[in-house]
Each structure stands twice: as C-alpha cells, then as structure tokens.
Structure 1
Amino acid sequence: MDTALILDVDGTLVDTTYHHAIAWYRAFAEVGVTVPVWRIHRAIGMGGDKLVSAVAGEEVEAAHGDRVRELWKAEADRLMPEVRTFDGAVELLDAAAEQDLPVVLASSGKPDHVDHYLDLLDGRRRAVAWTSSADVSETKPAPNLLDAAWEQAGTERALAVGDSVWDCDAAGGMGIPAVAVRTGGFGVEELTSHGARAVYDDLHQLRQDLPRLVGLATAPSPSGRDTRRSG
C-alpha cells in the first residue's frame, strides 16, 4: 500500500510527556528561572529550539536558551530509565505491518533518546525508518520533521499520528491528515481544532480503527507531496 504511517514517538508511543516537563522545569530552575510545570506541559511536543522562548520569553532564550537545553538534556538522561512504552504501542506497529503500511517513527528527540525508544519498541525491526533531531534544522510545529519522515518512506500518501496540537499543526503544514491520541494530555476539542481528523483515548482504539483511517490519506491536499518535493 502506498501510504506511510508517520508516528510521533515521544508522548504517543512512549510515555515521556511528563518526564520531559519535569526535566525542563528543573533545567529552568538551574538558571534561576521559575516556569510553572503546567505551562511547560502545554508546550511539550514542540522542539527544544522553540520551547524556551515559548514558555519563558525571548529574553530568557537570549540569555539562557542554550544552557537550559543542555541542562534539560542532562535531566532527561537521568529520567530515561523510567520511560516505558504505552500499552498498545507494539500492537499498533504490528497491525500496520499486517496491513502493509510502512511505518516511520518521526521523533525530534535527541539521537541517544531515540535509540532508547527504538530498543523499547523493537523499532529497528518494526519500522522502515526513523528520525531524530539530527535530521532537521527546525522542529515542530514546523513541518520539517514530517517532511524528513515522509521522504524516507518514499510513498505517495501519508497519515500522521501524534499526541499534541504541535503534531497536528505540523501535519497541516505538510498537507497530510493527522489523527491524535490523548496520551499527551491535550483535550479532544483542542486537537480537533488544530486539524485532527479523529482523536482516541489510547493506542488500542486507534489500532482498531486503522483500516478506516488509512482511507483518510487517499486524497492528499494540493499542498501535499508535490509541494513538499519542490522544496
């Protein structure tokens, strides 16, 4: 089948959203900046290149951005052993294979974090390709990550699956449909208002609906693959 299933990883397949929120909170605290955890949570899903200014402002980005990102990485490293896959993640990957859907794991995580996730999911065997922050110059909600993932899939059509409004925004920027799971803590109306065609409480529900969802990708928008290929 000439449709790729582009799966977000952090917060969608592996339960990391709140680990990352705590890691960012601690990183900001190290430079003397207090950002409420709820505000950080609302930004999880966008890349670290955007998150600092989004939650703390441009002045903090200018003064401490790179240092905060370094500290976040160190804090996140310490939390990695606690990370687990969501129930249903492996089953979703296997169901995609049964339906001849090439899977690309579209992560903007650090390469070593992505390696850990691949180990948890046996992703090197279950996916045709995967991405990390090393593959893009700009992260979500910019569509670059999905662009890189779709390029690796080599298909005419694609369906994106994520857990945040930033995933939905990135898919919209690519002109491909998106569906979402609530594992990132976003509400149904939030996700649909950002373009999610369907929202599921968990990965088992999504997997059961996968045959129908693939049909969403049968009519890509004019801003889809041709525009993507032209740069």
Structure 2
Amino acid sequence: MADTALFDVDGTLVDTNYQHALAWYRAFRRVGITLPVWRLHRAIGMGGDQLVPAVAGDETEKRHGDELRDAETEEFDKLIDETRPFEGARELLSEVRSRGFRVVLASSGKKKHVEHFIDLLNARDLADAWTTADDVENSKPAPDLVETALHRVEGAAGIMIGDSTWDCIAARKLSVPTVAVRTGGFAVDELTEAGAVQVYDSLVEMRERLDETPLRAAD
C-alpha cells in the first residue's frame, strides 16, 4: 500500500505539451535544424538533457545541447500564458489528499515554470511538497525525479500519476505503479506497455473511478 501520490505537472495537471513541442521546434530552428513537430511531441515528457540526443542525435547534443535547452526555455516563456490547468485538476488533488495520501507535485521543469503552474492550479495548500529541475541530476526516463519526490516527504511507497510513457518508465524502474491519463496524447496500449496499471481519458474520469485504482486509500 502506498502513502504518497506523485503527480507529474507538465501535461498531466496543466495542458502544456503542445506548447513545449512548439518551443522545441523553434529552439532547433535557431541552430538551423528543422524537426517534424510530431516527432518532438512524442519526446515531450523527457527532460531536456534526454530529449536533445533522442530526437537529434549525440552530435547535436555535443554541439548545441545547452544552447537548445536555453532557447526552449525562452520560447516556452512566450507561450506559458496560454497554458491552462486541465478540467478537474485541483479537484483530483484535493480528493487524493482527502484519502490520506501525501501529495507531491513531481516536476523536473524549471523552477519559475513549476511555481507558475502551482499558482495556476491554486495548489499550494494541497501539495505537501514539489520538485523542480534543481532537485534532480538526471531527468525522465531516469528514475531520479520519482525517488527525489518520495524522499521529499519521507514517503514509504508511491503512486505516479502521469501522462507520458516516460513517466511510466521512470516510475517502473523503482517499482512504483503509474496511473496514467491520456492528456499527453499517448495511446492506451503505449501507456500500459510502458507500465501504467490504469489509463483514463481525463482527470475527471480518473477522479470518478479512483476506487478502482491504487489511489482508493492510503496505507
């Protein structure tokens, strides 16, 4: 039985994935590289240190990695005011907390972005803790974020709530089950093959069906 709910923020609680894909597209264009947006979207959920070599190769990472990550941040800053919480996000956090779980917003995003999203969600009173890129050495699909989030509240065991295959893979490396939502655009089969124990179309549906998930009650 778990005692801690680890919520991914980008793409799970706040609708950001397509803005990130466009920001990465514009970042790569700055260095003369044009990648299909669909390919970038498929990599959203990885940390920037993982994404650049995954979509553009190790040589691009070596030559432009830090420049690209800085550029993506600059481009995303221009789009961040267009992002909005998904319907039911705050209500789901509140419901999970009322069932006895510690709630950690497990993000590897930039600190300023995470703070912005927490305020969008009006979730400072609901989260026991949150993480940012400053707290982890390696980003998803490495398990560092999941481990750090658990340690932040001295949790004994966790449940990941995420939207991407990368969330599932990172959690599975620590034997943490993932309840997934399709807000990241991944198919049900992709998420379950990556390790999700349940997949829902929306946060509203997940909340309505919490009793069939590991989030039904904390230990």
TM-score > 0.5, shorter chain as reference: yes
- Equivalent pair of 2:159/2:215 in contact (CA under 8 Å): no
Q: Which residue of 1 aligns with 2:143?
A: 143
Q: Which residue of 2 aligns with 1:33?
A: 33
- Equivalent pair of 1:111/1:132 in contact (CA under 8 Å): yes
Alignment of 1:3 onto 2:3: yes
SS of 2:213 mapped into structure 1: helix
- The structure showing larger relative contact order (alpha-carbon pairs under 8 Å, at least 6 residues apart) is 2
After superposition, the C-alpha distances for 1:87-128 in whole angstroms (9 at most, x for unaligned) are 010110110122121110000100000010010112211100
After superposition, the C-alpha distances for 1:169-228 in whole angstroms (9 at most, x for unaligned) are 001011111110000000000000011001000001111222332269989xxxxxxxxx
Structure 1: distance between partners of 2:149 and 2:122: 18
Alignment of 1:36-185 (within 5 A): 36-185=36-185
Structure 2: distance between partners of 1:159 and 1:69: 29
SS of 1:6 mapped into structure 2: strand
Percent identical: 53
- Equivalent pair of 1:157/1:217 in contact (CA under 8 Å): no
Whichever residue aligns with residue 110 of structure 1, its letter is K
Structure 2: distance between partners of 1:172 and 1:28: 31
User: How many pairs are equivalent?
Assistant: 219
Q: Which residue of 1 aligns with 2:206?
A: 206
- Equivalent pair of 1:159/1:216 in contact (CA under 8 Å): no
After superposition, the C-alpha distances for 1:56-80 in whole angstroms (9 at most, x for unaligned) are 1111111111111111010011111
Whichever residue aligns with residue 38 of structure 1, its letter is W
- Equivalent pair of 2:99/2:216 in contact (CA under 8 Å): no
Whichever residue aligns with residue 81 of structure 1, its letter is D
TM-score scaled by structure 2?
Answer: 0.96
Q: Identify which range, 97-106 or 166-175, moves more after superposition.
A: 97-106
Change (3 A) 1:165 1:217: farther
TM-score scaled by structure 1?
Answer: 0.91
Task: Compute the displacement of 1:8 (Å).
Answer: 0.3
Task: Compute the displacement of 1:153 (Å).
Answer: 2.4
Whichever residue aligns with residue 171 of structure 1, its letter is A
Please state which structure has a larger fraction of its residues in helix.
1
- Equivalent pair of 2:6/2:103 in contact (CA under 8 Å): yes
Structure 1: distance between partners of 2:141 and 2:4: 20
Structure 1: distance between partners of 2:156 and 2:96: 17
- Equivalent pair of 2:39/2:55 in contact (CA under 8 Å): yes
SS of 1:124 mapped into structure 2: coil
Q: Which residue of 2 aligns with 1:229?
A: none
Return structure 1 stretches of 4+ with deviation > 4 angstroms. 215-219
Structure 1: distance between partners of 2:44 and 2:217: 26
- Give unmatched runs, 5+ long, in structure 2: none
- Give unmatched runs, 5+ long, in structure 1: 220-231
